[in-house]
A and B are shown apart, each in its own frame.
Chain A
Amino acid sequence: MKRSVPLIITFLTGFFLVVAFFVPHEPFGELEQRLLVWFAIVSGFTMLLGIDNLIRSHARRIARTNTGWGHSIVLLMGLVVTVVVGVIGFSRLGSPFHIHSPFMFVYTHVIVPLQGTMFALLAFFIASASYRAFRARNTVATLLLISALIVMLGRIPIGAAISDFFPAAQEWIMDVPQLAAKRGIQIGAALGAVSMSLRIILGIERSYLS
Protein backbone atom coordinates (compact mmCIF):
# COMPACT_ATOMS: atom_id res chain seq x y z
CA MET A 1 0.00 0.00 0.00
CA LYS A 2 2.72 2.46 1.01
CA ARG A 3 4.90 1.66 -2.00
CA SER A 4 2.69 -0.10 -4.53
CA VAL A 5 0.01 2.63 -4.79
CA PRO A 6 2.56 5.39 -5.56
CA LEU A 7 4.24 3.12 -8.13
CA ILE A 8 0.87 2.51 -9.83
CA ILE A 9 0.05 6.25 -9.78
CA THR A 10 3.43 7.09 -11.34
CA PHE A 11 3.04 4.40 -13.99
CA LEU A 12 -0.50 5.42 -14.94
CA THR A 13 0.15 9.18 -15.13
CA GLY A 14 3.39 8.74 -17.06
CA PHE A 15 1.89 6.10 -19.35
CA PHE A 16 -1.23 8.17 -20.15
CA LEU A 17 0.87 11.25 -20.91
CA VAL A 18 2.96 9.27 -23.39
CA VAL A 19 -0.16 7.69 -24.94
CA ALA A 20 -1.82 11.13 -25.20
CA PHE A 21 1.21 12.33 -27.15
CA PHE A 22 0.98 9.55 -29.72
CA VAL A 23 -2.84 9.30 -29.82
CA PRO A 24 -4.18 12.87 -30.04
CA HIS A 25 -7.83 11.70 -30.21
CA GLU A 26 -10.63 11.15 -27.70
CA PRO A 27 -10.40 10.13 -24.90
CA PHE A 28 -6.63 10.81 -24.79
CA GLY A 29 -6.63 14.03 -26.78
CA GLU A 30 -7.39 16.42 -23.96
CA LEU A 31 -5.89 14.20 -21.27
CA GLU A 32 -2.45 15.83 -21.54
CA GLN A 33 -3.88 19.31 -20.99
CA ARG A 34 -6.03 18.09 -18.10
CA LEU A 35 -3.08 16.34 -16.41
CA LEU A 36 -0.94 19.45 -16.80
CA VAL A 37 -3.62 21.54 -15.04
CA TRP A 38 -3.77 18.96 -12.28
CA PHE A 39 0.02 19.04 -12.05
CA ALA A 40 -0.06 22.84 -11.61
CA ILE A 41 -2.67 22.54 -8.86
CA VAL A 42 -0.79 19.84 -6.93
CA SER A 43 2.48 21.76 -7.34
CA GLY A 44 0.72 24.85 -5.98
CA PHE A 45 0.04 23.05 -2.72
CA THR A 46 3.71 22.12 -2.37
CA MET A 47 4.38 25.85 -2.11
CA LEU A 48 2.63 25.74 1.27
CA LEU A 49 5.03 23.05 2.44
CA GLY A 50 8.00 25.17 1.39
CA ILE A 51 6.69 28.29 3.09
CA ASP A 52 5.90 26.28 6.22
CA ASN A 53 9.44 24.94 6.27
CA LEU A 54 10.88 28.45 5.87
CA ILE A 55 8.71 29.85 8.67
CA ARG A 56 9.46 26.97 11.06
CA SER A 57 13.20 27.15 10.45
CA HIS A 58 13.41 30.90 11.09
CA ALA A 59 10.88 30.89 13.94
CA ARG A 60 13.08 28.27 15.64
CA ARG A 61 16.12 30.50 15.12
CA ILE A 62 14.29 33.45 16.70
CA ALA A 63 12.99 31.37 19.63
CA ARG A 64 16.49 30.08 20.40
CA THR A 65 18.04 33.53 19.75
CA ASN A 66 20.63 31.83 17.56
CA THR A 67 23.16 33.91 15.63
CA GLY A 68 21.40 36.12 13.11
CA TRP A 69 17.97 35.81 14.73
CA GLY A 70 17.33 39.50 13.99
CA HIS A 71 17.71 38.77 10.27
CA SER A 72 15.17 35.99 10.62
CA ILE A 73 12.70 38.58 11.94
CA VAL A 74 13.34 40.69 8.82
CA LEU A 75 12.78 37.62 6.62
CA LEU A 76 9.50 36.70 8.31
CA MET A 77 8.30 40.31 8.29
CA GLY A 78 9.10 40.55 4.57
CA LEU A 79 7.14 37.35 3.96
CA VAL A 80 4.12 38.41 6.03
CA VAL A 81 3.98 41.97 4.64
CA THR A 82 4.19 40.71 1.04
CA VAL A 83 1.38 38.21 1.57
CA VAL A 84 -0.76 40.81 3.39
CA VAL A 85 -0.34 43.45 0.66
CA GLY A 86 -1.11 40.74 -1.90
CA VAL A 87 -4.37 39.93 -0.15
CA ILE A 88 -5.17 43.66 0.18
CA GLY A 89 -4.53 44.16 -3.54
CA PHE A 90 -6.80 41.23 -4.34
CA SER A 91 -9.65 42.36 -2.08
CA ARG A 92 -9.53 46.05 -3.10
CA LEU A 93 -8.58 45.92 -6.78
CA GLY A 94 -9.55 42.41 -7.76
CA SER A 95 -5.95 41.37 -8.41
CA PRO A 96 -2.71 41.65 -6.45
CA PHE A 97 -1.03 42.26 -9.81
CA HIS A 98 -3.08 45.37 -10.55
CA ILE A 99 -0.74 48.25 -11.44
CA HIS A 100 -1.94 50.32 -8.44
CA SER A 101 -1.82 47.42 -6.01
CA PRO A 102 0.51 47.73 -2.98
CA PHE A 103 1.75 44.28 -3.94
CA MET A 104 3.14 45.71 -7.18
CA PHE A 105 4.79 48.47 -5.14
CA VAL A 106 6.66 45.75 -3.21
CA TYR A 107 7.49 43.98 -6.48
CA THR A 108 8.77 47.11 -8.24
CA HIS A 109 10.64 48.74 -5.38
CA VAL A 110 11.85 45.76 -3.36
CA ILE A 111 11.98 42.54 -5.40
CA VAL A 112 13.20 44.00 -8.72
CA PRO A 113 16.10 46.02 -7.26
CA LEU A 114 17.11 43.20 -4.89
CA GLN A 115 17.01 40.59 -7.64
CA GLY A 116 18.71 42.79 -10.23
CA THR A 117 21.50 43.81 -7.88
CA MET A 118 21.97 40.27 -6.57
CA PHE A 119 22.53 39.00 -10.12
CA ALA A 120 24.63 42.05 -11.01
CA LEU A 121 26.83 41.23 -8.02
CA LEU A 122 27.59 37.91 -9.69
CA ALA A 123 29.46 39.83 -12.41
CA PHE A 124 32.20 40.56 -9.88
CA PHE A 125 32.36 36.98 -8.66
CA ILE A 126 32.41 35.61 -12.20
CA ALA A 127 35.20 38.05 -13.05
CA SER A 128 37.08 36.98 -9.93
CA ALA A 129 36.56 33.29 -10.78
CA SER A 130 37.75 33.91 -14.32
CA TYR A 131 40.97 35.44 -13.00
CA ARG A 132 41.71 32.11 -11.33
CA ALA A 133 40.29 29.84 -14.05
CA PHE A 134 41.55 31.63 -17.15
CA ARG A 135 45.12 30.49 -17.13
CA ALA A 136 46.47 29.22 -20.39
CA ARG A 137 47.87 26.05 -18.83
CA ASN A 138 47.20 23.84 -21.84
CA THR A 139 45.65 24.01 -25.30
CA VAL A 140 42.01 23.48 -24.30
CA ALA A 141 42.25 25.99 -21.42
CA THR A 142 43.70 28.49 -23.91
CA LEU A 143 40.76 27.86 -26.24
CA LEU A 144 38.36 28.60 -23.38
CA LEU A 145 40.21 31.81 -22.58
CA ILE A 146 40.37 33.00 -26.21
CA SER A 147 36.70 32.27 -27.00
CA ALA A 148 35.56 34.01 -23.79
CA LEU A 149 37.68 37.08 -24.57
CA ILE A 150 36.45 37.29 -28.18
CA VAL A 151 32.80 36.95 -27.08
CA MET A 152 33.22 39.59 -24.36
CA LEU A 153 35.00 42.03 -26.68
CA GLY A 154 32.62 41.35 -29.53
CA ARG A 155 29.58 42.27 -27.47
CA ILE A 156 30.73 45.73 -26.38
CA PRO A 157 31.28 48.88 -28.46
CA ILE A 158 35.00 49.02 -27.66
CA GLY A 159 35.46 45.64 -29.37
CA ALA A 160 34.04 47.01 -32.62
CA ALA A 161 36.11 50.18 -32.17
CA ILE A 162 39.32 48.10 -31.96
CA SER A 163 38.48 45.94 -34.97
CA ASP A 164 35.49 44.70 -36.95
CA PHE A 165 36.92 41.25 -36.37
CA PHE A 166 35.59 41.00 -32.80
CA PRO A 167 31.83 41.41 -33.48
CA ALA A 168 32.04 39.12 -36.52
CA ALA A 169 34.13 36.48 -34.71
CA GLN A 170 31.84 36.66 -31.69
CA GLU A 171 28.82 36.02 -33.87
CA TRP A 172 30.52 33.10 -35.64
CA ILE A 173 31.64 31.51 -32.36
CA MET A 174 28.12 31.78 -30.92
CA ASP A 175 26.49 30.47 -34.11
CA VAL A 176 28.84 27.61 -34.96
CA PRO A 177 31.21 26.00 -32.40
CA GLN A 178 29.26 27.18 -29.36
CA LEU A 179 25.99 26.04 -30.88
CA ALA A 180 27.51 22.70 -31.96
CA ALA A 181 28.69 21.78 -28.45
CA LYS A 182 25.51 23.11 -26.83
CA ARG A 183 23.43 21.07 -29.25
CA GLY A 184 25.47 17.93 -28.59
CA ILE A 185 25.08 18.42 -24.83
CA GLN A 186 21.34 19.08 -25.17
CA ILE A 187 20.78 15.97 -27.31
CA GLY A 188 22.78 13.86 -24.85
CA ALA A 189 20.99 15.31 -21.82
CA ALA A 190 17.57 14.89 -23.44
CA LEU A 191 18.29 11.23 -24.30
CA GLY A 192 19.45 10.71 -20.71
CA ALA A 193 16.24 12.31 -19.42
CA VAL A 194 14.17 10.06 -21.69
CA SER A 195 15.87 6.92 -20.38
CA MET A 196 15.52 8.10 -16.77
CA SER A 197 11.83 8.86 -17.36
CA LEU A 198 11.33 5.36 -18.73
CA ARG A 199 13.02 3.90 -15.65
CA ILE A 200 10.69 5.92 -13.41
CA ILE A 201 7.51 4.99 -15.29
CA LEU A 202 8.45 1.31 -15.30
CA GLY A 203 9.19 1.41 -11.57
CA ILE A 204 12.90 0.59 -11.89
CA GLU A 205 13.93 3.94 -10.42
CA ARG A 206 12.20 4.36 -7.03
CA SER A 207 14.41 6.77 -5.11
CA TYR A 208 11.61 9.35 -4.99
CA LEU A 209 9.70 7.03 -2.64
CA SER A 210 12.36 7.00 0.05
Chain B
Amino acid sequence: MKLSRIITTLLSGLPVTLTLLVFSFIFAAAIGLGIAWLSLRNSAVCYNISRLYLGLVRGTPPLLMLLLAYYGLPKLFLLVGININDWSKLLFGIVGLSVGWSGYLSEAFRSAYLSVDQGQYEAALVVGMNPSDAFWRIIMPQTVLIALPNIENLVIGLVKATSLVYVIGLVDMYSSATDLSNQNQGVYQLEIFVVLALIYWMIVLAIEWVFRSIKKEYQYVTV
Protein backbone atom coordinates (compact mmCIF):
# COMPACT_ATOMS: atom_id res chain seq x y z
CA MET B 1 0.00 0.00 0.00
CA LYS B 2 1.28 3.43 -0.89
CA LEU B 3 2.28 5.75 1.94
CA SER B 4 0.18 8.53 0.41
CA ARG B 5 -2.94 6.38 0.75
CA ILE B 6 -2.20 5.82 4.43
CA ILE B 7 -1.65 9.50 4.99
CA THR B 8 -4.76 10.71 3.16
CA THR B 9 -6.92 8.11 4.91
CA LEU B 10 -5.65 9.07 8.34
CA LEU B 11 -5.89 12.80 7.61
CA SER B 12 -9.54 12.34 6.70
CA GLY B 13 -10.10 11.83 10.42
CA LEU B 14 -8.08 14.90 11.38
CA PRO B 15 -10.97 17.43 11.30
CA VAL B 16 -12.91 15.31 13.81
CA THR B 17 -9.85 15.00 16.05
CA LEU B 18 -9.17 18.74 15.94
CA THR B 19 -12.83 19.66 16.45
CA LEU B 20 -12.94 17.42 19.50
CA LEU B 21 -9.73 18.91 20.80
CA VAL B 22 -10.63 22.58 20.35
CA PHE B 23 -14.23 22.50 21.56
CA SER B 24 -13.60 20.07 24.41
CA PHE B 25 -10.82 22.31 25.63
CA ILE B 26 -12.93 25.46 25.44
CA PHE B 27 -15.86 23.89 27.29
CA ALA B 28 -13.63 22.10 29.79
CA ALA B 29 -11.89 25.40 30.57
CA ALA B 30 -15.23 27.18 30.99
CA ILE B 31 -16.59 24.48 33.31
CA GLY B 32 -13.24 24.31 35.11
CA LEU B 33 -13.29 28.06 35.76
CA GLY B 34 -16.80 27.77 37.16
CA ILE B 35 -15.83 24.91 39.46
CA ALA B 36 -12.68 26.70 40.61
CA TRP B 37 -14.79 29.80 41.31
CA LEU B 38 -17.22 27.72 43.38
CA SER B 39 -14.45 26.15 45.41
CA LEU B 40 -12.86 29.53 46.15
CA ARG B 41 -16.01 31.19 47.41
CA ASN B 42 -16.42 31.66 51.14
CA SER B 43 -19.24 29.19 51.31
CA ALA B 44 -19.21 25.65 52.64
CA VAL B 45 -22.07 24.68 50.30
CA CYS B 46 -20.27 25.93 47.18
CA TYR B 47 -17.04 24.33 48.30
CA ASN B 48 -18.66 20.95 48.91
CA ILE B 49 -20.49 21.02 45.58
CA SER B 50 -17.22 21.69 43.79
CA ARG B 51 -15.43 18.93 45.71
CA LEU B 52 -18.20 16.43 44.93
CA TYR B 53 -18.07 17.31 41.24
CA LEU B 54 -14.29 17.06 41.25
CA GLY B 55 -14.32 13.69 42.99
CA LEU B 56 -16.83 12.21 40.57
CA VAL B 57 -15.24 13.61 37.43
CA ARG B 58 -11.65 12.88 38.31
CA GLY B 59 -12.55 9.42 39.52
CA THR B 60 -14.16 8.39 36.24
CA PRO B 61 -12.02 6.98 33.42
CA PRO B 62 -12.32 9.15 30.27
CA LEU B 63 -13.48 6.16 28.26
CA LEU B 64 -16.33 5.61 30.69
CA MET B 65 -17.12 9.32 30.65
CA LEU B 66 -17.64 9.14 26.86
CA LEU B 67 -19.91 6.12 27.23
CA LEU B 68 -21.89 7.83 29.98
CA ALA B 69 -22.27 10.94 27.84
CA TYR B 70 -23.41 8.94 24.84
CA TYR B 71 -25.77 6.50 26.54
CA GLY B 72 -26.61 8.29 29.77
CA LEU B 73 -27.09 11.92 28.80
CA PRO B 74 -30.07 11.32 26.42
CA LYS B 75 -31.82 9.35 29.20
CA LEU B 76 -31.16 12.16 31.65
CA PHE B 77 -32.54 14.76 29.24
CA LEU B 78 -35.61 12.60 28.52
CA LEU B 79 -36.43 12.78 32.24
CA VAL B 80 -37.02 16.49 31.81
CA GLY B 81 -38.75 15.94 28.49
CA ILE B 82 -35.98 16.94 26.11
CA ASN B 83 -35.08 14.60 23.30
CA ILE B 84 -31.42 14.81 22.31
CA ASN B 85 -31.20 11.43 20.60
CA ASP B 86 -30.65 13.11 17.26
CA TRP B 87 -27.62 15.07 18.41
CA SER B 88 -24.57 14.12 16.41
CA LYS B 89 -22.02 11.76 17.91
CA LEU B 90 -19.47 14.54 17.73
CA LEU B 91 -21.47 16.54 20.26
CA PHE B 92 -21.55 13.65 22.70
CA GLY B 93 -17.82 13.19 22.22
CA ILE B 94 -17.26 16.84 23.06
CA VAL B 95 -19.52 16.63 26.12
CA GLY B 96 -17.75 13.53 27.45
CA LEU B 97 -14.26 14.93 27.00
CA SER B 98 -15.20 18.40 28.29
CA VAL B 99 -16.63 17.01 31.50
CA GLY B 100 -13.74 14.62 31.89
CA TRP B 101 -11.11 17.36 31.53
CA SER B 102 -12.98 20.08 33.44
CA GLY B 103 -11.92 18.63 36.78
CA TYR B 104 -8.22 18.75 35.98
CA LEU B 105 -8.49 22.27 34.57
CA SER B 106 -10.39 23.53 37.58
CA GLU B 107 -7.61 22.33 39.85
CA ALA B 108 -5.01 23.97 37.61
CA PHE B 109 -6.90 27.28 37.82
CA ARG B 110 -7.59 27.00 41.53
CA SER B 111 -3.99 26.34 42.54
CA ALA B 112 -2.74 29.08 40.20
CA TYR B 113 -5.20 31.58 41.64
CA LEU B 114 -4.05 30.79 45.16
CA SER B 115 -0.45 31.49 44.24
CA VAL B 116 -1.10 34.97 42.82
CA ASP B 117 0.06 37.51 45.37
CA GLN B 118 -3.14 39.03 46.80
CA GLY B 119 -1.34 42.26 47.71
CA GLN B 120 -1.81 43.26 44.08
CA TYR B 121 -5.56 42.88 44.46
CA GLU B 122 -5.46 45.28 47.40
CA ALA B 123 -3.26 47.65 45.42
CA ALA B 124 -5.84 47.63 42.62
CA LEU B 125 -8.63 48.39 45.09
CA VAL B 126 -6.79 51.31 46.64
CA VAL B 127 -6.14 52.97 43.29
CA GLY B 128 -9.92 53.03 43.02
CA MET B 129 -10.61 50.05 40.78
CA ASN B 130 -13.80 48.18 41.54
CA PRO B 131 -13.40 44.54 42.63
CA SER B 132 -14.38 43.04 39.28
CA ASP B 133 -11.92 45.20 37.30
CA ALA B 134 -9.23 44.35 39.85
CA PHE B 135 -9.95 40.67 39.36
CA TRP B 136 -10.18 40.60 35.57
CA ARG B 137 -7.33 43.01 34.81
CA ILE B 138 -4.79 42.10 37.50
CA ILE B 139 -5.47 38.73 39.12
CA MET B 140 -6.94 36.70 36.25
CA PRO B 141 -4.15 37.29 33.69
CA GLN B 142 -1.57 36.24 36.26
CA THR B 143 -3.62 33.21 37.25
CA VAL B 144 -3.64 32.06 33.63
CA LEU B 145 0.11 32.63 33.29
CA ILE B 146 0.83 30.59 36.41
CA ALA B 147 -1.51 27.84 35.26
CA LEU B 148 0.04 27.75 31.77
CA PRO B 149 2.47 24.82 32.21
CA ASN B 150 -0.31 22.73 33.76
CA ILE B 151 -2.73 23.71 31.03
CA GLU B 152 -0.18 22.74 28.38
CA ASN B 153 0.14 19.28 29.91
CA LEU B 154 -3.61 18.89 30.06
CA VAL B 155 -4.10 19.96 26.43
CA ILE B 156 -1.52 17.43 25.31
CA GLY B 157 -3.28 14.79 27.39
CA LEU B 158 -6.53 15.80 25.73
CA VAL B 159 -5.02 15.33 22.25
CA LYS B 160 -4.44 11.70 23.05
CA ALA B 161 -7.75 11.25 24.84
CA THR B 162 -9.62 12.25 21.66
CA SER B 163 -8.66 8.84 20.27
CA LEU B 164 -11.05 7.23 22.78
CA VAL B 165 -14.12 8.42 20.87
CA TYR B 166 -14.03 5.18 18.87
CA VAL B 167 -16.11 3.68 21.72
CA ILE B 168 -19.11 5.74 20.64
CA GLY B 169 -18.50 5.00 16.97
CA LEU B 170 -17.08 8.38 16.07
CA VAL B 171 -14.54 8.25 13.23
CA ASP B 172 -11.49 10.30 14.15
CA MET B 173 -7.87 9.76 13.10
CA TYR B 174 -7.40 6.80 15.37
CA SER B 175 -10.57 5.08 14.12
CA SER B 176 -9.57 5.76 10.50
CA ALA B 177 -6.24 4.07 11.21
CA THR B 178 -7.70 0.95 12.80
CA ASP B 179 -10.34 0.73 10.05
CA LEU B 180 -7.68 0.94 7.36
CA SER B 181 -5.59 -1.65 9.11
CA ASN B 182 -8.53 -4.04 9.45
CA GLN B 183 -9.52 -3.63 5.80
CA ASN B 184 -6.07 -4.94 4.90
CA GLN B 185 -6.11 -7.81 7.37
CA GLY B 186 -3.50 -6.09 9.45
CA VAL B 187 -0.78 -6.46 6.83
CA TYR B 188 0.16 -2.76 6.91
CA GLN B 189 -0.62 -2.34 10.58
CA LEU B 190 2.83 -1.19 11.69
CA GLU B 191 3.21 1.38 8.87
CA ILE B 192 -0.24 2.76 9.58
CA PHE B 193 0.35 3.13 13.29
CA VAL B 194 3.76 4.72 12.84
CA VAL B 195 2.23 7.33 10.51
CA LEU B 196 -0.59 7.85 13.02
CA ALA B 197 1.90 8.37 15.85
CA LEU B 198 3.81 10.90 13.74
CA ILE B 199 0.66 12.91 13.05
CA TYR B 200 -0.24 13.01 16.75
CA TRP B 201 3.32 14.00 17.48
CA MET B 202 3.10 16.90 15.05
CA ILE B 203 -0.10 18.12 16.66
CA VAL B 204 1.64 18.06 20.03
CA LEU B 205 4.64 19.92 18.56
CA ALA B 206 2.30 22.63 17.28
CA ILE B 207 0.71 22.93 20.73
CA GLU B 208 4.11 23.17 22.39
CA TRP B 209 5.05 25.90 19.93
CA VAL B 210 1.91 27.90 20.77
CA PHE B 211 2.58 27.69 24.51
CA ARG B 212 6.24 28.54 24.01
CA SER B 213 5.23 31.66 22.10
CA ILE B 214 2.86 32.75 24.85
CA LYS B 215 5.55 32.24 27.47
CA LYS B 216 8.02 34.22 25.41
CA GLU B 217 5.54 37.06 24.96
CA TYR B 218 5.15 37.31 28.74
CA GLN B 219 8.68 36.38 29.78
CA TYR B 220 9.08 39.47 31.96
CA VAL B 221 5.86 38.89 33.82
CA THR B 222 7.28 36.75 36.58
CA VAL B 223 4.48 35.90 38.92
A and B part of one assembly: no
